[in-house]
A and B are shown apart, each in its own frame.
Chain A
C-alpha cells in the first residue's frame, strides 16, 4: 500500500472543484465518502494517481423539498437520509435501502452519489432510485444537465458521466401517501455484504387490492439495474391474489438476465428474485407491507 503515490486535491468550493476536473478530466479520481475508493487504493487497483477529494464541498450537503420533488446534494450520506424527516415521510423506500447498506460505519461515510459513481449493478440505492423516478444532475465547469437514473448507467462501472462532470445532485419524486413499497435484498450475510439480488417496488392498489400501477426494479441481475417492465405490465389492472403474486414473481425471475459469479449462480439468482418478489407482494396482499403513511419517529 503506497499512499505516497497519490496527489490529493481538496477544493473548498464547487467552482474550484469543477475547475480542477476540467483540467485533469480522466486523469483524476473523484472521492467522496471513500468507501469504494479507499478499498481500491488499498488493493492498488486504481489507475489514476491524482484524487479529487470532494468531502469539503459543504454546499453539496443538503436535502431540499421542492413541490413534488426532493433534491439531495451529492455529499449526503446514508445516515443523513435515514435521519431526514422529509425523506422518511415522502420516500421511505430510500431510507429502508440505506439501512441495509454495509453497516453503521459505512452508512456514516458512504454517499448516494458515490453509489451512482461506482456504478455497480449491485448498488443497493439504485433500485429504489429507479422506482422513485430519480434523476442525476451532472455539472461541469461549462455545462449542466440532468439525466434520468434509469438512463444513467451504460453497463457495469460505466455511466453517461463525462470525465469533466461531477454528480452534484440527485432528485427524487415523492411517493404518494397510501402507496405500498418494499425494498428487499439477499446477500451472503446481514451486514457488509454485496447483494446477490435486490428488489425495490412501489405499488398503487385500490382498496380491493386491484393493482392500479406498479414499479419493480431489480439489482445485481443484469449489467445494470433494470425495471421488470413485462412483469409490471402483467400486474397492472389485475386483482392481486395468491395466483397473481406467484405469476408476477415467476415473470420477474424469467425477465431478468443474471450471471453466475463468485457469490452465486444465475439459476440461484433467478430463484432468489422469485422469492424476494413473492415475499414482498405476499406482504402487500396480506396487508403487512409498509405503506407511505406520513408517520415518522426519527431524530430530526
Chain B
C-alpha cells in the first residue's frame, strides 16, 4: 500500500498482515509481503530451528513443512503462507516429548555441528508422512536437497531408517 503524505514525500508501507498456522497455533504476523517465510520465522517469530544457509533453495537448512510437504522456507514469500499449516522442528515436540525422528537423530548421533539437523528432520518427516515405510532410495531422494557440511550422512540415513525403514 502506498500512502502519499505530501507530493514529494512518499512513505512506502508494504507490510501485510498474514494469518497462518504455525506448529498447530494460529499466528498473525505483520511483515513486508515479499519477505521470506524463513526470515519471518526467525526474525519476527523467534523460530530459530529454521536455518539460513544459501537462501537460494539449495541447501535445505531452512526446510519446513507446508501442509505436510517439505519446502525451503527461503523461497516462500510470507504472503504465500496465508492460510497454510507450517510446521518446524519445534512443532514436532509433543507435550515435552521429542518426535521419534528427533529421538533417532539423538540416539544415532546424527549431528555434528547440528546446523543442518532441523532441515534433515523436517525433510524426513515430510517423507514419512507420505510413505511411512520408505525404501532406502526414497530416503536418499527425500534428503537429496539437504546438505550437511560436516558429512554426517551415514548416521542421518541410519536415524531415518530407524524410524521409517526398519519394518522392511
Which residues of A are at the interface with B, using a C-beta cutoff of 8 A?
A: 1, 3-8, 10, 31, 33-35, 38-39, 41-43, 51, 53, 55-56, 79, 99, 102-106, 108-109, 190-192, 299
User: Nearest chain-B residue to A33 (Cβ)?
Assistant: B75
Q: Which residues of B contact A103 (CB under 8 A)?
A: 60, 141, 144-146
Residue among A34, A35, A39, A108 making CB contact with B70, cutoff 8 Å: A108
**A106–B56 CA distance with the chains assembled, in angstroms:** 11
* Residues of chain B lying within 8 A (CB to CB) of residue A190: 144
Residues of chain A within 8 A (CB-CB) of B60 are 103, 105
A-B complex: 3 closest residue pairs judged by Cβ atoms: A103-B145, A191-B144, A8-B33
- The answer on a CB contact under 8 Å between A105 and B123 is yes
Within 8 A of A (CB), among B1-36: 1-2, 12, 14, 16, 32-36
Q: Would you list 17 pairs from A and B whose C-beta atoms are within 8 A, ordered by A residue?
A: A3-B32, A5-B12, A6-B34, A7-B2, A34-B76, A38-B36, A38-B77, A39-B75, A42-B56, A53-B77, A53-B80, A103-B145, A104-B126, A105-B75, A105-B123, A108-B66, A192-B144
CA A192 to CA B34, docked complex, whole Å:
23
Interface positions, chain B 104-152, Cβ under 8 Å from A, are 123, 126-127, 130, 141-142, 144-146
Q: Which residue of A lies closest to B63 (CB)?
A: A105
Select A31's contact among B55, B69, B77, B142, beta carbons within 8 Å: B77
Q: How far is the CB of A217 from chain B (nearest CB, A)?
A: 25
A43 CA to B12 CA in the complex, in Å?
21
Given contacts A8-B33, A39-B57, contact A34 B63 (CB under 8 A): no
Q: Which of A6, A34, A56, A191 contacts B75 (CB 8 A)?
A: A34
User: Shortest beta-carbon distance, B138 to chain A, in Å?
Assistant: 10
Which residue numbers of B lie inside 8 Å of A, CB to CB?
1-2, 12, 14, 16, 32-36, 39, 55-58, 60, 63, 66, 69-72, 74-77, 79-80, 82, 123, 126-127, 130, 141-142, 144-146
Rounded to whole Å, the gap between the CB of B91 and the closest CB of chain A is: 17
Q: Given A42-B55, A105-B145, output 8 extra A-B contacts at Cβ < 8 Å.
A: A4-B32, A4-B35, A34-B76, A35-B57, A38-B57, A103-B144, A108-B66, A192-B57
Given known contacts A38-B57, A42-B55, is B144 in contact with A108 (CB within 8 Å)?
no
**Chain A: CB-nearest residue to B65:** A108
Contact at A109–B76, with CB atoms within 8 Å? Answer: yes
Question: Do A104 and B145 contact each other (CB < 8 Å), given the known contacts A34-B77, A53-B80?
Answer: yes
Which of chain B's residues have a CB closer than 8 A to the CB of A3? 32-36, 39
Of B72, B130, B142, B144, the residue contacting A109 (CB under 8 A) is B72
User: Does A51 contact B34, Cβ atoms closer than 8 Å?
Assistant: yes
Q: Check B80 against A55 for contact (C-beta < 8 Å).
A: yes
The listed residue with most B CB atoms (<10 A of its CB), out of A1, A34, A42, is: A34
Q: How far is the CA of A99 from the CA of B145 in the complex (A)?
A: 12
CA gap between A41 and B77 in the complex, in Å: 10
Residue of A nearest to B145 (CB): A103
- Report yes or no: B79 in contact with A38, Cβ–Cβ below 8 A: no
Closest to A38 in B: B75
CA distance A123 to B55 in the complex (A): 21
Q: Which residues of A contact B144 (CB under 8 A)?
A: 103-104, 190-192
Q: How far is B66's CA from A55's CA once the two chains are assembled, in angstroms?
A: 14
State the CA gap A109–B64 with chains docked (Å).
Answer: 12
Cβ contacts under 8 Å, B2 to chain A: 7
Bound complex: CA A4 to CA B56 (Å): 18
Task: Name the one of A7, A42, A191 contacting B33, with C-beta atoms under 8 angstroms.
Answer: A7
Closest-CB distance, B129 to chain A (whole angstroms): 12
List residues of chain A with CB within 8 A of the CB of B79.
8, 10, 53
Whether A6 contacts B33 by the Cβ 8 Å rule is yes
A79 and B69 contact, CB distance less than 8 A: yes
What's the least CB distance linking B3 to chain A, in Å?
12
A140 to B146: give the CA distance in the assembly, Å.
39
Contact B34 A105 (CB under 8 A): no
A104→B139 CA distance, assembly (Å): 11
Q: Max chain A CB contacts within 10 Å: which of B12, B69, B72, B130?
A: B72
Task: Assess A35 versus B32: contact at CB under 8 Å? Given A79-B69, A108-B69, A192-B58.
Answer: no
- Measured between alpha carbons, how far is A39 from B38 in the docked complex, in Å? 13
Chain A CB within 10 Å — which of B14, B32, B58, B71 has the most? B71
Task: Check B16 against A104 for contact (C-beta < 8 Å).
Answer: no
